[in-house]
Amino acid sequence: MTPDDGRMGNKKKGELGTFAGVFTPSILTILGIILFLRLGFVVGAGGLGRALLVLALANVISLVTSSSIAAIATNLKVKGGGDYYVISRTLGVEYGGALGIVLFAAQSISIAFYAIGFGEALATVIGSDWVFMPRAIALSAVAGLFALAWLGADVATKFQYVVMAVLGAALVAFFAGGLGRFSGETLRANWSGSSDISFWVLFAIFFPAVTGFTQGVSMSGDLKDPGRSIPRGTFCAVGFSIVVYFGAAFVFAGAMPGGALIRDYEAMRNVSSWAPLIDAGVIAATLSSALASFLGAPRILQSLAADNVFPFLRPFAAGHGPSSNPRRGVLLSLAIAVITIAAGDLNVIAPVVSMFFLISYGLLNYAVFFEARAKSPSFRPSFRWFDARVAFLGSLACLGAMLAIHAVAGAIAIAAVMAIHQYLSRTVEVTRWSDSVRSYRLQKLRTTLFGVAEDPPHMRDWRPVILVFSENRARRARALAFASWIEGGSGFTSVIKVIDRPAARAETVRKELATLQAEIKESGCEAFARVVRVADLETGIPVLLESFGIGPLKANVMLLDWFDNGSAPDEEGLRRFGRYLKMARVAHCNTVFYEGASEDEVRLAALEPKARRIDIWYGDDATGRLMLLLAYLMTRNDAFEEATIRVLAARPEGVSEAKWRARLDEMLQDVRIDATVEIPATADDAAVRAASVDAAVVFLPLRVMRGSPTCNLTNDLTTLVKDLPHTALVMASEDIELDAEPETGHKS
């Protein structure tokens, strides 16, 4: 299925605007428990100077990531799923799926975190000493939040307005009380900290405060206009929170001594003009953060399930009502939250959960860098205030923050994401995603090809670029396998299917191409498929040989099936083959005619790997050197890595056998190919049959005489080929220098 085929039926377009759908959930999560209970400690312990650096670094990460979110959100239509949807459509299904599943779990567990924070705050307000009171209050809070999430985002958003009003009142009370007690002398005294706590410990304490700015992205499926609302709402939330946090840091530094800020986590309450409003603010902050997670987590799961990345999650793709509220996901989030609350101590899980959020921010930044580097024509974000290099630095900053906050938790989180990534890369079966992976690869290919074109060609760089022509499906599979053998994992193979109707419809070409691609996939070989419309193969070959490839990448080996129609070529067939050879020679393309029957495959499979032998009937010419190189490349293939190469070369007249053997041994040593030499007494049909009938593969030299392909070893080439095992008839159209050395220096 395609990624969007499984979406939730005829889902009604979202109704939420920028303020309700993005700004509100984001700002209510950012202005959370850290602001009320930990910011004063950071100022007191580190001093205002270091506290401002902590705030600046954390908010730089927020701003850079917000810029990346804006770039992606204005480049594609962000559907439900938020971070998951953005990353899966940019970096691919593997990263998106891995991040989606861990983000859902992290946000579901976060519900419990915030609910317990609410429980502890309320238990303090009412003065209860019962040890289980915070958990009981947390479970009650989760039940109430569940009801809101069950009813849908529009109802939950109305409740968030109430929470925002309480938070606003609490902040007004704090700033009013703080400014009334503000002292320049206290501010100067608090510029330097009164403890030895390191900068990175303070950063670790504060950083979770800024991890809520993507809550609005999680609501993308419920927005009227995600491309407009996400960047605007996110930047407004981050910008407003920066003003609040920096302002609060100055007020803390000027209103209370550093020692009191360190000792008293309720410093904001003591500074405030009316303490009960701060209590209400703490409660509101924890509830709002929990509700934002309760709304975001099920929507990530719903999008993940709709994409069918994990088939077992498919039931969670269903939605309720015109807005497709993910009620099944809400139930699962409820179950995870309740289990987490029941577990009690969250200190072990908390750092890992924070790491998952940091990984998502890092991947969001990297996604923009990846998109920009791919230079795809489709990457046209209307938001222009981003820079790919800054986004990359943002991803590195997220990684650094992970290691600084908790190296072990960071390693665990990264390992979890990569494990799921590897699982998906091996198991996921969906039609290609509209991500940027292919664009990135094409851009790399473009850069590489231009780089290769600029370098002067050298024989040391030669590698086979093979065009396979075969009309019979069964024999085409064997020819493709042979091409993969002689390619040796270092070249490129393309299988050509000819449609002998130049006016064939495009739909016919697409079907033939799909069939050919399926054949290649079934074979397990790495090859490209190409379907061409020409009057006949003889017309198409010269055009393909001259035009195939791009830039410096040109075809240099043409591989044809000797018995392509299932029988030996007749006299006209041989003349046609002769014309093919001449065409290839004109195009400076080497030719290989291959013959391999099904019984040859059976025999090869029965041979032990060490018993497989490649015979080369060698001549001291370009064809002989090409055969030797192709045989060597075969030994790089798994099927022949233990095979031996034997060079059979008849002694030229006037040269002693000892000198001839010494010359061949020296040649093999110079070209660094491990092979044994055998000098047959004669070189004719009988000698070839006797020597090579038990080989795994035989290479024979080919030439054109009187318009037909011939071999100097036989007068009946067709019969000889039929009697031998896998056979390659080779004719070189370029000289292969096996011992080519690098250039000695610059020539002026």
Highest mean predicted confidence (pLDDT) among 80-84, 279-283, 735-739: 279-283
Whether residue 413 is found in the same domain as residue 547: no
Indicate the average pLDDT of the chain: 84
Report which DSSP code applies to 11.
P
Q: Are residues 727 and 598 in the same domain?
A: yes
CB 546 within 8 A of CB 557: no
Q: Tell me, yes or no, whether 133 lies in a domain.
A: yes
- Note the pLDDT of residue 693: 93
Instruction: Reply yes or no on whether the pLDDT at 177 is more than 90.
Output: yes
Q: Is residue 452 part of a domain?
A: no
Residue 748: the pLDDT is 44
Neighbours of 489 (CB within 10 A): 11
Specify whether 220 is located in the same domain as 360. Answer: yes
Residue 91: inside a domain, yes or no? yes
SS3 36: helix
Least confident range of 343-347, 407-411, 596-600, 618-622: 343-347
Give the pLDDT of residue 178.
Answer: 92
CATH code of 68's domain: 1.20.1740.10
Q: What is the pLDDT of residue 6?
A: 41
CB 153 within 8 A of CB 219: yes
Residue 579 reports pLDDT greater than 90: no
Expressed as residue numbers, the domain containing 724 is: 460-731
Give yes or no: residues 271 and 341 share one domain: yes
pLDDT digits (tens, 9 = 90+) for 653-678: 888 999 999 999 999 988 889 999 99
Report residue 128 as tokens: 């209860």
Contact 430, 309 (CB under 8 A): yes
Amino acid at the residue 430: V
**Side-chain half-sphere exposure of 231, counting CA atoms within 13 A:** 20
- Classify residue 11: in a domain, yes or no: no
Q: What is the DSSP string of 433-498?
A: PSSSHHHHHHHHHHHHHHHHHHSPP-GGG---EEEEE-SSHHHHHHHHHHHHHHHTTSSEEEEEEE
On whether both 412 and 471 belong to a single domain, the answer is no
Q: Rounded distance, CA 681 to CA 181, Å? A: 110
DSSP 344-378: ---TTHHHHHHHHHHHHHHHHHHHHHHHHHHT-TT
Task: Say if 236 falls within a structural domain.
Answer: yes
Distance of CA 153 to the CA centre of its chain: 32
Does 697 fall in a domain?
A: yes
pLDDT at res. 125: 77
The pLDDT assigned to 32 comes to: 81
**Is there a single domain that holds both residue 411 and residue 470?**
no
Residue 4, pLDDT score? 46
Question: For the residues 429-444, what does the mean pLDDT come to?
Answer: 64
Q: 330 and 375 share a domain?
A: yes
Residue count of the chain: 748
Higher-confidence position of 489 and 254? 254
pLDDT band at 7; cut points 50, 70, 90: very low
736 in helix, strand or coil? coil
User: Could you tell me if 484 and 399 lie in one domain?
Assistant: no
Residue whose pair of structure tokens reads 């080497």 in the numeric block: 590
Q: Are residues 228 and 312 in the same domain?
A: yes
The confidence band for 106, taking pLDDT boundaries of 50, 70 and 90, is: confident
Q: Residue 739 falls within a domain, yes or no? A: no
Q: Among 411, 427, 443, which residue terminates a domain?
A: 427
Residue 433 pLDDT exceeds 70: no
3-state secondary structure 505-569: CHHHHHHHHHHHHHHHHHHCCCCEEEEEECCCHHHHHHHHHHHCEECCEECCEEEEECCCCCCCC
- Work out how many domains the chain is built from and give that number: 2
- Rg of the chain in Å (alpha carbons): 36
Mean pLDDT to the nearest integer, 60-82: 83
* Domain-terminating residue out of 427, 444, 468: 427
The whole-number average pLDDT for the span 522-541 is 85
Average pLDDT rounded to a whole number, residues 266-294 = 87
242-259: per-residue pLDDT in tens? Answer: 999 999 999 999 999 988
- Quick one: pLDDT band at residue 119, thresholds 50, 70, 90? confident
Could you tell me the CATH number of the domain that includes residue 632? 3.40.50.12370
How sure is the predictor about 86, in pLDDT bands with cuts at 50, 70 and 90?
confident
Same domain, 290 and 231: yes
Percent of the chain at pLDDT exceeding 70: 92
492 touches 549 (CB < 8 A): no
Q: Has residue 536 got a pLDDT over 90?
A: no
Residue 293 has pLDDT above 80, yes or no: yes
Q: How far apart are CA 544 and CA 234, in angstroms?
A: 54
**Cα separation, 58 vs 213, whole angstroms:** 12
Encoded tokens for 269: 């309450």
Calculate the CA dihedral of residues 344, 347, 353, 355 and round it to 10 degrees.
Answer: 180
Please give the pLDDT value at position 564.
56
Please identify which residue in the block is written with the tokens 């009187």.
Answer: 706
Distance in angstroms (rounded) separating the CA atoms of residues 366 and 645: 49
pLDDT 10s digits, 685-726: 899 999 999 999 999 999 888 888 888 888 888 888 888 999
- Shared domain for 347 and 416, answered yes or no, is yes
Tokens encoding 517: 């691609």
Over residues 344-364, the pLDDT tens digits come to 655 566 676 778 888 888 888
Place of tokens 């005829």: 10
Span 636-659, pLDDT tens digits = 888 999 999 999 999 888 889 999
3-state secondary structure of 251: helix
Instruction: Let me know if residue 342 belongs to a domain.
Output: yes
pLDDT of residue 323: 75
Q: What is the pLDDT of residue 3?
A: 47
Residues 515 and 560 in one domain: yes
Supply the pLDDT for residue 14. Answer: 65
By CB neighbour count within 10 A (0-12 exposed, 13-18 middle, 19+ buried), where does 118 fall?
buried
